[in-house]
Structure 1
Amino acid sequence: MKLLVPLSLLALALAVTAANDGLMVCYYGSWAVYRRGNGKFDVEAIDPAICTHLMFGFAGLGSDNKIKVLDPWNELCKDSGKCAYNRFTALKARNTNLVTILAVGGWNEGSPKYSTMSSSASTRKIFVDSSIELLKEHNFDGLDMDWEYPTQRGGKPEDKVNFISLLSDLSTALHANNMILTAAVSAGKLTIDPAYDIPGMAKHLDIVNLMAYDLHGAWDPYTHHQSGLYQYPDDTGDNVYLNQDFAVRYWIDGGMPSTKIVLGVPLYGRCWKLDSNTEEHGYYAPARNPGPAGPYTRTPGFLGYNEICEFQKKENNWVVEIAPGMKEPYTYSYSHSRIWCSYDDHDSCVEKANYAKSKNLAGMMVWSIETDDFHGICGRPFDLIKTLRETFTGGDIPTPPTLPTTTIDPSAPPTTAPLPPPDDNCSRPGINADPENCHHYYLCTVSVDNTYSAQEELCAAGTLFNPNASICDWEDAVCAIGSGICKNDCP
């Protein structure tokens, strides 16, 4: 007789790795494979022992309502691809407790097509069925729904109801296949109120990844902390809502069990260029422009933690301070383009993990693993992730169980044939910019006849393709790069 385990227990077994062990959810931004120098981060750079759950970001949504592979050359094996999906899930051989999940959506995808897909049972079924097929094909353990955001950014008012229907359909199908459903959600009250039916979400989600960051950034004309644990004493108006403590309490008060919430911590800083070389360098200092791009992430207004700590290690003119009443640092340098960054470090990670534990949360989450100090240039490798997990659990990270090694790696990509010569749209496989139009880019694969096949991808409204970072990025951030980038699309 076959023993039937309740679906809720199956989900729990995948969601929680051991008794009294907290979750450590780590997102991976797969485009980091295209970064330069010490910033380059491929799947094999992931330490599979330090996270309980790994999220591959991102898959997308096609015009046919099916889940869509966004970078086939990097993520699939066919056409001399790099097999990143298979290599990612193969990390479970080095940690058999590891849960690998495919995240779908993200900021670049926008909202309108998800709004359309979720609006009817038939289109939802197309998405759900295609998702299950893709997850099974590549040995993922679940799906992370990262729609940013229902009813917002071109969405429709009925998204709030349709999102619950989508989660219900996904949950039923995933649990029937011994997989879990998670979602990345906003920490902002002004987004939460119109977008989310929290009790409805609680019925269907196994884990809620609370994106408690990007609460402030270069879109504000003044400095502030992007991931403050508590309200800054001088905050007024809507800024009183823009802190992690408010977001956690608001989700719990709204009906989400604390034991399903993981608290997100950014492994990067949001940066401004101070308006002047004055002594005004605290919160609310005038700063109407983003800080300069870093050498790896190459996006104005944004620096990975690895970039920040390397700057501080190599240059002695960086000042680090903590504002009164706050728990996390900010740093500035007048000689480095008057840059000012809010970020998290070792000590603030201790504070936030202890806070999450005190609120009986499920654990911690980071965006994203490839901007931690993974080379260990400033200390031990992956110090921020390790600190969050060790603090939350109150112990060392255990040595994970592994599978016996084999002489043949079934996930290894095939031998790469010589690449075809460049054509009008493609200079190499993978993501390619259009130098004349930053509203789109091309996904290029190598066909069987050793020529390029180009698929056009549009950037969401309000974004442009950043050829330095190989992503669609904020329009203002891309235009701030200068040097002729997107000159036809920037004012």
Structure 2
Amino acid sequence: TIVSSSASGLTFLVILTSTSRLMCYYNSKAADRPAMGKFRVSDIDPDKCTHLIFGFSDIIENELVPTTVNDVQQYFGFNALKQRNPLLKTLLAVGGEKFGTEKEVFIQSVIRLLRAFNFDGLDVDWRYPAEEDKQRFTELCKLETAFVDEGTSSNQERLILAASVSAERSTIDAGYEVEEIAMHLDFINVLTFDFHGPWESVTAHHSPLFQGSQDTGDAIYSNTASALEYWRDQGAPEEKLNMGLGAFGRAFSLSSNSSAVGAPASGPGEEGCYTGEEGFWASYETCLYLDGVQNHFISDQKVPYATTENQWVGFDDTTSINTKINYLKANKFGGAFVWSLDLDDFRGEFCNQGSAHSLPNCIISAAAAT
């Protein structure tokens, strides 16, 4: 079976086997974006991904709840996509920082909400753990035991439990009991992007595949391959690990005539005209900024960047996605996930390559070619 997705005129593609998957986030806030940047549940193609993740829900007084009243209606539409693709699985994402001590109250609220709206599971976003939360997260992952019991007692397929986790080695060491949580989680989404960004004083690609020649100190670990291999080496089975693919670029404002990797930067680049965040360009916004601009390739890190006037942006294209998917398959990692569908050139209108060159489709083409 083949699954697909696309970005910046590219396509994110993964061949689905018994141990591979493509999980795609939907950011519900994208429904409020202006004009052609608006992305609703109705814009999701249910055949592109094996799993869809709705971001985000909230925790109030130890109970899982919709973030807004409007989300409730979106839940219905989101899960109705399974009528068009019966193989599709849907998860509801929640941030973990508000998880309290009333574990049983939380567990029951999770099961109640997921079953009420026909979700297939929960994704716990725990990307910034504090050291004192290390054991607390392990306890949270034991939700899986309650999911097994509930599925058995209700004679339903048990709920899925996934987690989205940091790719930074120092955070992994301080914040996760890797082997213990991996026993309880079905999937582990490793956030292999935002290793660098305009919060730093020099340019660097936010999602390199490999170590760069200029990397020193702990920066030698700030890349996709190092992060996935470290999670594996700490005890997470490779078939549970998903590589993160970002459908966006990180942009810097240059502060000198230099425009190479490591050039001085004065802060974030311009804000995306639809996403409205400085230094963050959806893949379709990247196409707009870089129309007619020559791309450069960082040979040791296997990713592209481009400059236009005083703007420097690192992003992924078809070539870099191909290379990342080949690496993923060669190392037998379980699959990939995309953040997020709404950042892709979902209508195929910005990058002038049509919807077939969407981020999911790019992934699919890459997997099919190997």
Normalising by structure 1, report the TM-score: 0.68
- Residue 36 of structure 1 is matched in structure 2 by 34
For 1:17-416, list aligned pairs within 5 A. 19-20=17-18, 22-62=20-60, 64-72=61-69, 74-76=70-72, 83-105=73-95, 111=97, 113-114=98-99, 117=100, 120=101, 123-151=102-130, 157-168=131-142, 170-175=143-148, 176-177=150-151, 178-276=158-256, 278=257, 280-313=258-291, 316=292, 318-334=293-309, 338-377=310-349, 378=351, 379-381=353-355, 383-392=358-367
Q: Distance in 2 between matches of 1:237 and 1:350?
A: 29
Aligned to 2:7: none
Runs of 4+ residues over 3 Å off in structure 1:
17-21, 392-395
Deviations 1:433-473 (A, max 9, x none): xxxxxxxxxxxxxxxxxxxxxxxxxxxxxxxxxxxxxxxxx
Alpha-carbon spacing, 1:202–1:295, altered in 2? closer, same or farther (3 Å): same
**Greater strand content:** 2
Cα distance per residue 1:102-127 (max 9 Å; x no partner): 0011xxx7x3x33xx1xx4xx11111
The residue identity in structure 2 corresponding to 1:261 is L
- Amino acid of the structure 2 residue aligned with 1:247: A
Residues 117-156 of structure 1: CA deviation (Å, up to 9, x unaligned):
1xx4xx11111110111101110000001123222xxxxx
Question: Structure 1: where are the runs of 5+ without partners?
Answer: 1-16, 77-82, 152-156, 396-491
2-structure distance, mates of 1:20, 1:66: 34
Contact 1:363 1:392 in 2 (8 A): no
Query: 1:226 aligns to what SS in structure 2?
Result: coil
Deviation at residue 383 of structure 1 after TM alignment? 2.2
Give unmatched runs, 5+ long, in structure 2.
Answer: 1-14, 152-157
2:269 aligned partner, one-letter code? G
| Distance of 1:158 and 1:187 partners within structure 2 | 19
Deviations 1:227-256 (A, max 9, x none): 000001111112111000110110011000
Q: 1:21 to 1:245 in 2, by over 3 A?
A: closer
- In our comparison, the structure showing a higher alpha carbon Rg is 1
Which one is further off, 17-26 or 209-218? 17-26
Please tell me the residue identity of whatever aligns with 1:360: K
Q: Which residue matches 1:442?
A: none
**Would the aligned equivalents of 1:349 and 1:384 in 2 still touch at CA under 8 Å?**
no
Contact 2:290 2:306 in 1 (8 A): no
C-alpha displacement at 1:286, in angstroms?
0.3
Structure 2 residue identity aligned to 1:391: A
Amino acid at match of 2:66: V
Which structure is richer in relative contact order (CA contacts within 8 A, separation 6 or more)? 2
- Structure 1 residue 394, shift from structure 2 partner: 5.4
Structure having the higher helix fraction is 2
How far does residue 43 in structure 1 lie from its aligned partner after superposition?
Answer: 0.3
**CA RMSD across the alignment:** 1.6
- Deviation larger for 33-42 or 375-384: 375-384
Question: 1:390: Cα distance to partner?
Answer: 3.8
State the Cα distance separating 1:288 from its structure 2 match: 2.1
